[in-house]
């Protein structure tokens, strides 16, 4: 090894020398396990493939095109952040140097402002690499120095206790105790004595000197009430008093004593629904709901998974004296998995793989052995469309929807390409085409809004077409002959429309209209919440009625936003066609203006479009 290489390896972990086309001529390193898993980093490989295996964004081609030295930091798929330096040498060759930046608490505050982010971070490792979790951290920083009650919400395994410990660790109560209590693990007959303590003689098995309760033990610190929704109603009454007055009365005593505590509660249940069912006190709910902090599930912060894997990998490699690494494809597979058990399941999976892996590299095959991997959620049945529409329009519509769905969930061209089973260049080209369709520089704000609205309209039109396809035309015809709402046809159709409305979740009403010979729209049947009576004529504004008439002529369509006496709506219509090709009625799906506006906002944010 020459002195120049030795000097560089004293600074960097990996050196790669390429020719002017990016073909690797030499690759050497210090034994960093990250590059052991990058097969493309071998001699004869391409620096472009190395970058694709390492990063979400590839800079190699751009750097070589400018023929100048570049140095920057970039987060890798595997988790670690890398310092990368590239510079040209003689004969058009290039040197690419990589340094892994080891940081137990990643700096997520770049690009953010505010003194809290700079001054307060947990002293123990608390991996935060996603925008949703950065928002969580910011809220935690705001409550850590006050005594306000905090309610941590989220699915099981998202890290609610870790978040509670982080609040304790960052705040002015860090020198005081942190007392965790799992309300669901304590028997109902013991939980009151555990929380509030008791005095001698309070009950038969009471200890001679009594016992302090968790509230008293948490004095000058934090009491963490996990699974607070499991508390019995009689205990909820006493908890409410403590939260209101900060005074504790042990069981069997008439004397009370003050406590100086901050209460952090956590639950994976909907306390609001429990209140409505009478299972949780409403006054206690509002006492706990002072500062609610929602921790998103792991599937909503996919970009954090590689960093969590790296953190747990380092933890268990150290614990079990192993040197296990994950291949890039294995990391990708972990990112695509849905993680119903969230971070806890991910940690257990990494620990298991570290222990059971008989080879130094965990690949896709090993991951599949330990995970019940089924890929992303898929519909139980494919939509059946028996309404004719241009084939290419249908293909383009489905393709755009799938690309949008994949990018919204995974926020990565690489992962989206894997899920959709296309190459990354193909995915990049199609997504760029979709973006260009919306964000042409020559488009005015009105043009951009119209294109965004058409994206939404295509989806709403598809829902109406599929809905019309699953409505039996013969039942509609039978109901027209006898419009009594008590007939079996009426009840069956009403039930089916209600099921569609509830399953979609975003449709306000689903209804079927027929048209009289003189052009009047008559309500035939609808879901159970519809406001118009069967047999009643609907008289709406022209922009709505015209689209309905087009549906009776065989063309599915979507209205602009319109206003009638029931509110402001956007409605999609599609014809219901019998076996002979006759249009017997139309189905309509109403969407509120608020829903449409939220979808426009979501799409603008997703595609980074400013209107």
Give CA–CA dist 584/576, Å, rounded: 6
Q: Where are the beta strands (DSSP E) in 324-479?
A: 325-326, 361-362
The predicted structure's pLDDT at residue 516: 92
Q: What is the pLDDT of residue 560?
A: 94
CB-based burial of residue 16 (10 Å sphere; 0-12 exposed, 13-18 middle, 19+ buried)?
Answer: buried
Picking from 146, 194, 150, 195, the residue whose alpha carbon sits closest to that of residue 172 is: 146
Res 477: pLDDT? 92
Which residue stretches of 183-288 are H helix? 188-196, 214-217, 233-245, 271-276, 282-288
List the one residue out of 219, 212, 280 whose CA is nearest residue 249: 212
Give the CA angle between residues 356, 42, 100 to the nearest 5°: 65
At residue 383, the pLDDT reads 46
| pLDDT band at 222; cut points 50, 70, 90 | very high
Over residues 450-464, the mean pLDDT reads 84
pLDDT (tens digit, 9 = 90+) per residue, 298-349?
988 888 888 888 889 888 988 899 989 888 888 888 888 889 999 999 999 9
33-47, 195-209, 510-524: least confidently modelled range: 33-47
pLDDT reading at 378 higher than 60: no
Residue 422: is its pLDDT beyond 80? yes
The answer, yes or no, to whether residue 589 has pLDDT greater than 90, is: yes
Higher local confidence (pLDDT), 611 or 210: 210
67: left (phi over 0), alpha (psi -120 to 50) or beta: left
Q: How would residue 134 be classed by pLDDT, with cut points 50, 70 and 90?
A: confident
State which H helix or E strand residue 510 sits in. strand 509-515
Tell me the CA distances in angstroms from 226 to 162, 260, 272, one per residue in order: 11, 19, 17
Q: Is the pLDDT of residue 564 over 80?
A: yes
How many whole angstroms separate alpha carbon 457 and alpha carbon 232? 49
- Checking if the pLDDT of 506 tops 80, the result is yes
CA 386 from chain center: how many Å? 34
Q: How confident is the model at residue 59 (pLDDT cuts 50, 70, 90)?
A: confident
Question: Where are any strands of DSSP class E within 150-192?
Answer: 150-153, 178-182
Q: What is the mean pLDDT of residues 172-200?
A: 90
What is the Cα–Cα distance from 143 to 141, expressed in whole angstroms? 6
Taking residues 167-180, report their average pLDDT. Answer: 92
Residue 138: Cβ within 10 Å count: 17
In the prediction, which pLDDT does 219 show? 94
Which domains does the chain carry? Answer: 3-101 (3.30.450.20), 115-296 (3.40.50.300), 299-370 (1.10.8.60), 376-434 (1.10.10), 453-599 (3.30.450.20)
What b-and-e string marks burial along 441-451, b requiring 16 or more CB atoms within 10 Å of the CB? Answer: eebeeeebeeb
pLDDT at 327: 85
Share of the chain above pLDDT 90, in %: 36
Region 1-16: what's the mean pLDDT? 70
Give the integer Cα–Cα distance in Å for 527 and 175: 59
75 compared with 429, residue with greater pLDDT: 429
- The closest alpha carbon to 300, from 410, 203, 377, belongs to 410
Angle at 242 between CA 250 and CA 193, to 5 degrees: 30
pLDDT at 380: 41
- Per residue in 548-580, is it b (16+ CB within 10 Å) or e — as a string? bbebbeeebbbbebbeeeeeebbbbbbbbbeee
100-126 in b/e form (b: 16+ CB < 10 A) is beeeeebebbeeeeeebbeebbbeeeb
At 567 the pLDDT is: 92
pLDDT of residue 609: 61
Residue 3: how many CA atoms within 13 Å on its side-chain side? 0
Q: What is the pLDDT of residues 487-501, one digit of tens each?
A: 788 899 999 999 988
294 pLDDT band, cuts 50/70/90, is: very high
| pLDDT, average across residues 95-115 | 55
Q: What mean pLDDT do residues 77-91 have? A: 76
The answer on pLDDT for 584 being more than 70 is: yes
The stretch 544-560 carries a mean pLDDT of 94
Inter-CA distances, 225 with 181, 194, 212, 267, 274, Å: 5, 12, 17, 9, 17
pLDDT of 32 higher than 60: no
Give the lowest-confidence range in 59-63, 138-142, 242-246: 59-63
Tell me the Ramachandran region of residue 73: left when phi exceeds 0, alpha when psi lies from -120 to 50, beta otherwise. beta
Dig out the tokens for 177 from the structure: 């105790």
Cβ-proximal residues to 228 (8 Å cutoff; 6+ apart), any chain: 151, 183, 265, 266, 267, 271, 288
Question: How many CB atoms lie under 10 A from the CB of residue 184?
Answer: 13
| Cross-strand partners of 75 | 81
pLDDT of residue 509: 94
Is 115 a residue whose pLDDT tops 50?
A: no
Which residue has 């997520």 as its token pair? Answer: 108
Quote the pLDDT of residue 437. 66
Q: What's residue 111's pLDDT? A: 38
The residue among 123 and 415 whose pLDDT is bigger is 415
Outline where DSSP puts E strands in 36-171.
70-75, 81-88, 94-101, 150-153
Give the pLDDT confidence score for residue 425 in this predicted structure: 78
Instruction: Report which DSSP code applies to 301.
Output: -
pLDDT, residue 33, reads 55
Q: How far apart are CA 203 and CA 195, in angstroms?
A: 15
312/477 Cα distance (integer angstroms) = 62
Per-residue tokens: 17: 């020398």
pLDDT for 120 beyond 70 = no
Give dist(CA 562, CA 590) in Å, integer.
11
Q: Find the DSSP H helices in 42-129.
A: 47-54, 60-66, 115-119
DSSP 125-137: -----SHHHHHHH
Q: Are 351 and 312 in contact (CB under 8 A)?
A: yes
pLDDT, tens digit (0-9, with 9 covering 90-100), for 521-538: 999 999 998 989 999 999
pLDDT at 104 over 60: no
Q: Which residue has the higher pLDDT, 602 or 491?
A: 491
Distance (Å, whole) CA 448 – CA 425? 26
């Amino acid at each position: 090894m020459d002195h120049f290489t030795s000097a560089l390896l004293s600074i960097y972990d990996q050196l790669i020398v390429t020719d002017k086309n990016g073909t690797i001529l030499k690759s050497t390193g210090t034994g960093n396990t990250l590059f052991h898993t990058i097969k493309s980093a071998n001699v004869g490989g391409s620096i472009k493939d190395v970058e694709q295996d390492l990063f979400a964004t590839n800079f190699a081609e751009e750097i070589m095109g400018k023929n100048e030295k570049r140095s920057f930091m970039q987060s890798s798929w595997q988790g670690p952040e890398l310092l990368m330096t590239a510079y040209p040498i003689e004969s058009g060759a290039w040197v690419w140097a990589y340094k892994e930046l080891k940081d137990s608490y990643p700096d997520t505050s770049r690009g953010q402002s505010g003194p809290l982010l700079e001054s307060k971070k947990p002293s123990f490792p608390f991996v935060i690499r996603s925008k949703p979790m950065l928002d969580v951290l910011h809220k935690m920083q705001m409550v850590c120095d006050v005594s306000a009650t905090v309610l941590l919400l989220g699915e099981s395994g998202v890290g609610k206790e870790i978040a509670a410990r982080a609040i304790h660790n960052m705040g002015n109560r860090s020198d005081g105790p942190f007392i965790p209590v799992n309300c669901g693990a304590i028997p109902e007959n013991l939980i009151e004595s555990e929380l509030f303590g008791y005095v001698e003689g309070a009950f038969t098995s009471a200890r001679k000197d009594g016992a302090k309760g968790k509230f008293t033990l948490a004095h000058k610190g934090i009491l963490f009430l996990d699974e607070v929704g499991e508390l019995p109603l009689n205990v909820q009454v006493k908890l409410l008093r403590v939260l209101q007055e900060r005074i504790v009365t042990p069981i069997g005593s008439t004397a009370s004593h003050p406590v100086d505590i901050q209460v952090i509660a956590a639950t994976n249940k909907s306390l609001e629904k429990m209140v409505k069912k009478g299972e949780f006190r409403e006054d206690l709910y509002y006492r706990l709901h002072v500062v609610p902090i929602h921790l998103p599930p792991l599937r909503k912060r996919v970009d954090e998974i590689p960093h969590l894997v790296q953190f747990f990998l380092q933890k268990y490699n150290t614990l079990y004296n192993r040197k296990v690494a994950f291949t890039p494809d294995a990391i990708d597979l972990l990112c695509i998995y849905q993680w119903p058990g969230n971070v806890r399941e991910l940690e257990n999976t990494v620990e298991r793989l570290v222990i059971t892996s008989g080879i130094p590299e965990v690949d896709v095959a090993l991951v599949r052995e330990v995970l019940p991997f089924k890929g992303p959620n898929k519909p139980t049945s494919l939509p059946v469309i028996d309404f004719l529409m241009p084939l290419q329009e249908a293909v383009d519509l489905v393709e755009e929807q799938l690309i949008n769905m994949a990018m919204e969930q995974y926020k990565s061209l690489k992962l989206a390409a894997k899920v959709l089973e296309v190459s990354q260049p193909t995915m990049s080209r199609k997504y760029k085409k979709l973006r260009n369709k919306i964000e042409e520089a020559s488009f005015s704000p009105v043009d951009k809004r119209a294109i965004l609205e058409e994206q939404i309209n295509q989806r709403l039109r598809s829902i109406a077409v599929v809905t019309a396809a699953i409505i039996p035309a013969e039942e509609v015809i039978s109901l027209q002959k006898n419009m009594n709402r008590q007939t079996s046809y009426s009840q069956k159709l009403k039930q089916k429309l209600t099921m569609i409305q509830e399953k979609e979740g975003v449709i306000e009403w689903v209804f079927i209209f027929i048209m009289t010979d003189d052009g009047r729209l008559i309500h035939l049947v609808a879901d159970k919440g519809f406001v118009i009576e069967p047999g009643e004529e609907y008289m709406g504004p022209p922009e709505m009625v015209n689209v309905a008439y087009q549906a009776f002529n065989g063309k599915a369509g979507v209205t602009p936003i319109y206003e009638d006496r029931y509110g402001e709506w956007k409605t999609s219509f599609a014809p219901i066609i019998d076996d002979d090709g006759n249009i017997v009625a139309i189905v309509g799906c109403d969407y509120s203006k608020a829903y449409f506006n939220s979808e426009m906002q979501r799409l603008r944010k997703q595609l980074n479009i400013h209107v």
